Chains A and B, each alone.
Chain A
Amino acid sequence: MMSKNLRIANSNFIDQTSRISFKFDGKILYGFKGDTLASALIANDIHLVGRSFKYHRPRGIMTCGSEEPNAIVQVGNDASMTEPNTRATEIELYEGLEASSQNCWPSVNFDIGSINNFFSPLIPAAFYYKTFMWPANFWKLYEYFIRKSAGLGKSPTQPDKDIYDHRYLHCDVLVIGGGISGIIAAKTAAKNNLNTVLIDDKNNLGGTTLFQQNECFKINNSYSNEWLKKEIETLDSIKNLTIKTRTTLAAYHSYNYLLARENLTDHLDLNEKKDKIRQRLWKIRAKKVIIATGAMERPLIFNNNDRPGIILSSSIKKYIDYYGVKCGQKISLFTNNDSAYETAISLSNSGVSINSVIDIRDKSNSLIVKQAEKLGIKIHWKHTVVNTNGYKKINSIEIMKLSDDGTAVVGKKIKDECDCLGISGGWTPRVHLFTQSGGKLKFRDVDNVFLPDKSELDQISIGSCNGDLELDEVIKNSVNSINKFLNVNNNDYKNLEIISSKEIDKKNIWLLPSDKPFGKTKPFLDFQNDSTANDIKLALREGFKSIEHVKRYTTTGMATDQGKLSNMHALGIVAETANLKMGELGTTTFRPPYTPLTFGAIVGRNVGKFFDITRRTPIHDWHVKCNAEFENVGQWKRAWYYPIENESMHEAVQRESKAARDSAGILDASTLGKIDIQGSDASEFLNRIYTNAWSKLEIGKCRYGLMLNEDGMVYDDGVTTRLGENHYIMTTTTGGAANVLGKLEDYLQTEWPELDVYLTSVTDHYATVSICGPNSKKILSKVIPDLNLSDKEFPHMSFKNALIDNIKCRVMRISFTGEHSYEINIQSSYGKSLWEKCFEAGKEFDITPYGTETMHLLRAEKGFIIAGQDTDGTMTPVDLQMDWIISKKKYDFIGKRSLYRSDTIRDDRKQLVGLLTDDPNEVLEEGAQIVLETKKQPIVMLGHVTSSYFSPNLNKSIALAVVKNGKKLKGQKMFVPMKNKTINVTITDTVFFDKENKRLNA
């Protein structure tokens, strides 16, 4: 495979003894342990790895890190675990890796979409916006083709089998980035007894210094890499220091809350990945944060700068020095600064032939340039590349001399053959995390960089992400900043002897000139979204001024790499064209995540049975055993209905409803909220929160109460029982329990702190078994033989303490079905046993378990409301025709004043009414609209159905609804228009069954 022998032997980081096989685009290839997919591909002489988004131009690997715009690949073949949009430069090679190119069809070598390239003059910025606007009804057709050709990669079609999880982490100091300054920071912090965490996205620490073995960069007479290696070795023995490699900082939020994704198994061989957490999302809360994320190299913007084989110069250096891989056999370098000479020297030392260095500057007398000259490397000063050739791989470049002002080229064209071009446009400090955290940037003119300025958080940036781009400055300034920031005095790095080449001569041209007219050139800016300098200029000509608008119009910086490489040039070109200063123009906003996160990492273990929290009643297992279907009510799982054999839901509910009225039914009511109220002002408190009066409720009696919001709208309801002089137990709706308690606490703590009242939730302490029906009394007398159940002794709306097998319980005679019924509250541990006991006792009466659906049906027959179903936050008690529950005597209660606001006393408000269908078998749909006039358009909608059932006890369909001015419309015929028909209905009273409440005492 490696016929061209692109490997050199002397890499310290690649284990050339352990060969790894992998597949790329179906072809079996080999690499070594320590390779990334990118380095292994280059070693196999594969540069063409993808097609560009819009023009489908061939694109190759361009970088060696997270900023990679081109080498975006699909990993994996499995329908459940394939992952699109991963960067080949960050994928560590493992045995069995399968990857493929994206955004090309049928293959990366022959891509049909590349025809777009020939039409590219016809596809300018915002082409899609402009073209597919009309005719409007053609959109369906356009969309089909756009969807097919657009997008990057394929999403998996099956659920992800991998496991992800989350962890919280609290530390004193978080250091982001394990380069030279990050290592100094972490060591200083940990040695000073601060609980420190150091993270780095690579598999080992050291950053670029790790492979910097150059005479021009020395510390205490050692090569900088050797010095740093020793520093790294000492880290293991330091207490308080946690090091996390393969961990990418994804987001930096306020209050030093940060999210980092740790890759735990992505680098492992296929068979080692199983049953392990793939990725872990760390939720970090750090007292102090030190950002040491370094800088990334900029490309240069010139005609046809996007061909495979055009690679950032520093990446070529990493490929040769770290991976031992040559990016080409004959390499040219194109630069505006000194750093490309480091690459030149590294290549030369490894025996790779260098064509020449093309430098746009007039000269440079730095140490490093002199060293390169000494090695005999040819340099074209004040020259630029005007064009490149080679379709699937670069094969030559064209060079011309720059005019004095740098806006044009002069003289003769030189053609240079090469198979790789390294480009370096200077350095951009990685300020992404700093700005994510809310920090403001400042602009430094001398080398055109944005640097961290002001921040509200306890954080600093050090090293090259803070603009220190030379070794001596990195160390000196980092040490000073760290000492000051941590308020420590670390002298370990005070007297280092540092040799560092200094760059003095600087020059920058954002858009390099060509011999061709500008309109005929293709200087790419955003390689992933395929936008060129021409697009930026077009946007400006069309009147866009704000950089945020230019970005969106041209889509520059809007791809998955968020324009890590393109943003600075886009800003530069806009500033230059609009004649503004870059500092004034500002930057676009960098948003989290820094690199894309998998959905798996975002959701963690909250999948499957942990997707949402579930609450169970103490009787849950019985319902499961008896084949109940469950309904979610808030977080609760409630028994919905209990189908027997092949019963449908309708059949089961009809049977349950009939049984409850004919003999006996049993319901698990444990989910109702229960609040224990004690204190000398408990009665006064109830007076203030409920609409009705409570002072005169006798001990041992129960009362129904309605709770309003201050705006007069019904909030919750329930029965409250007076247990003692200063002791009540309140029930709330199942879904409203937590909110009601919160609201009541709010009033007690903030508005009425003078009241002596204490609230304690006891919802989970009690299981509630509700028995209803004409035989309920007989059943209860079997369960609690000692209890006198006579109507005189134990009337409706009263309560008794009782003992069942020596266990204390509370029995309330209350009813939500209109039947004679009891609720037994017992401590939860005995709930299931009590239920079984009641069920056993009821067997001779065919006691029937019923679920929430039957409960809803039975109460609808009686016209009882369900807060939240028949009310929606816009219904007053008057609207519900419940005027009787509003005390006229009380001076105040929550919401009272609102009941006579101009809006709440309108008579044309929507009011609760009953509805009967003309055809008794026609059951209305809940939510259906109610109208008076079906012909005249627009049809006026007067209200809607809130509850609707077929009543087996009345043998007809019944419904509750809210209708404008409904109170006065009793007997009125109305219409419910449905998709295929119109249903005729009549407005009635809300109570359909047992209007005289005879059954309560039957």
Chain B
Amino acid sequence: MFLINCPYCGERDQSEFSAGGEAHIVRPKQPTELSDDKWAEFLFMRKNIKGVQLERWNHTHGCRKWFNMARDTSNDKIHAVYKMGEKPPIK
């Protein structure tokens, strides 16, 4: 059970949050211009890495805000949390 530092509410138990998959996948502005392949890339292709992964999380049972998290999938260590629209603080 993680302890997550919501960028708005502070440290809270993981049970207040829900995970929303890989971060920084931007919805194409003009989907109609895209080929099937390009659209499929946006729609389906997600990384599943061992190591630090950038993820979307939502403080579902708190402020309901979405934010991003850099988490090491191998040991669950959270290296950083940052607001939507901000650049990842680590590579």
Contact = CB atoms under 8 A, between A and B. Distances in A.
Interface of A: 253-257, 285, 438, 456, 710-711, 742, 745-746, 749-751, 753, 891-892, 896-898, 901-902
A710 B66 contact: no
B52 interface: no
Contacts of A257: 1, 3
A253 B1 contact: yes
A254 B64 contact: no
A749 B66 contact: yes
A711 B43 contact: yes
A750 B66 contact: yes
Nearest to B85: A753
Nearest to A741: B64
B34 interface: yes
A746 B34 contact: no
Given A257-B3, A710-B43, A750-B66, A897 B76 contact: no
B31 interface: yes
11 contacts: A254-B2, A254-B75, A257-B3, A456-B77, A742-B60, A749-B65, A749-B66, A753-B85, A897-B31, A898-B39, A901-B40
A745 B64 contact: yes
Interface in B50-79: 56, 58, 60, 64-66, 75-77
B31 A749 contact: no
Contact residues of A: prevailing secondary structure: loop
Nearest to B4: A255
A456 B34 CA distance: 45
Interface in B1-45: 1-3, 13, 18, 20, 26-27, 30-32, 34, 36, 39-40, 42-43
A-B pairs, top 4 by smallest CB distance, nearest first, are A897-B31, A257-B1, A255-B3, A749-B66
A746 B58 contact: yes
Nearest to B28: A897
A438 B72 CA distance: 14
Among A253, A438, A891, A892, max chain B CB count under 10 A is at A892
A750 B31 contact: no
Nearest to A891: B32
A897 B32 contact: yes
B83 to A, nearest CB: 10
Contacts of A902: 36
A254 B66 contact: no
A563 to B, nearest CB: 25
B80 interface: no
Given A749-B84, A751-B27, A255 B2 contact: yes
B84 A255 contact: no
Given A745-B64, A746-B58, A753-B85, A892 B13 contact: no
Contacts of B13: 285
Contact of B36 (A285, A746, A901): A901
Nearest to B68: A750
A115 to B, nearest CB: 49
Contact of A753 (B36, B60, B64, B84): B84
Among A255, A256, A753, max chain B CB count under 10 A is at A255
A160 to B, nearest CB: 25
A195 to B, nearest CB: 16
Interface residues of B, number: 28
A456 B60 CA distance: 28
B20 A746 contact: yes
A745 B67 CA distance: 12
A742 B39 CA distance: 24
Contacts of A710: 27, 42-43
Interface of B: 1-3, 13, 18, 20, 26-27, 30-32, 34, 36, 39-40, 42-43, 56, 58, 60, 64-66, 75-77, 84-85
Contacts of B64: 742, 745
A250 to B, nearest CB: 14
Contacts of A751: 26-27
Contact of B3 (A285, A456, A742, A750): A285
B32 A892 contact: yes
A207 B25 CA distance: 56
B13 to A, nearest CB: 7
Contact of B39 (A255, A456, A901): A901
A256 B40 CA distance: 40
A256 B13 CA distance: 12
Contacts of B58: 742, 746
A746 B66 contact: yes
A890 to B, nearest CB: 10
B45 to A, nearest CB: 13
Nearest to B78: A255
A897 B39 contact: yes
Given A256-B3, A896-B32, A897-B31, 5 more contacts: A255-B1, A257-B3, A742-B18, A745-B66, A750-B56
Contacts of B42: 710
A745 B84 CA distance: 13
A897 B75 CA distance: 38
B21 to A, nearest CB: 11
Nearest to A257: B1
Nearest to B3: A255
A91 B31 CA distance: 67
B31 A438 contact: no
A254 to B, nearest CB: 5
A563 B2 CA distance: 29
A891 B31 CA distance: 9
A898 B43 contact: yes
Nearest to A748: B66
Contacts of A255: 1-3, 76
A51 to B, nearest CB: 40
A751 B20 CA distance: 14
A500 to B, nearest CB: 38
Contact of A254 (B18, B30, B76): B76
Contacts of B34: 897
Nearest to B1: A257
A256 B60 CA distance: 23
A747 to B, nearest CB: 8
A285 B60 CA distance: 21
Contact of B31 (A456, A711, A892): A892
B44 to A, nearest CB: 8
A565 B85 CA distance: 54
B43 A438 contact: no
A163 B32 CA distance: 60
Nearest to B66: A749
Contacts of A898: 39, 43
A454 to B, nearest CB: 11
Nearest to A901: B36
A256 B3 CA distance: 9
Nearest to A254: B76
Contacts of A753: 84-85
A891 B32 CA distance: 8
Among A456, A892, A897, A901, max chain B CB count under 10 A is at A897
A285 B4 CA distance: 12
B4 to A, nearest CB: 9
B11 to A, nearest CB: 9
Contacts of A896: 31-32
Contacts of B66: 745-746, 749-750
B55 to A, nearest CB: 13
A897 B56 CA distance: 24
Nearest to B32: A897
A560 to B, nearest CB: 25
A236 B72 CA distance: 43
A781 to B, nearest CB: 42
Contacts of B31: 892, 896-897
Contacts of A897: 31-32, 34, 39
A606 to B, nearest CB: 14
B58 to A, nearest CB: 7
A586 B62 CA distance: 43
A793 to B, nearest CB: 40
Contacts of B30: 892
B42 to A, nearest CB: 8
A285 B40 CA distance: 42
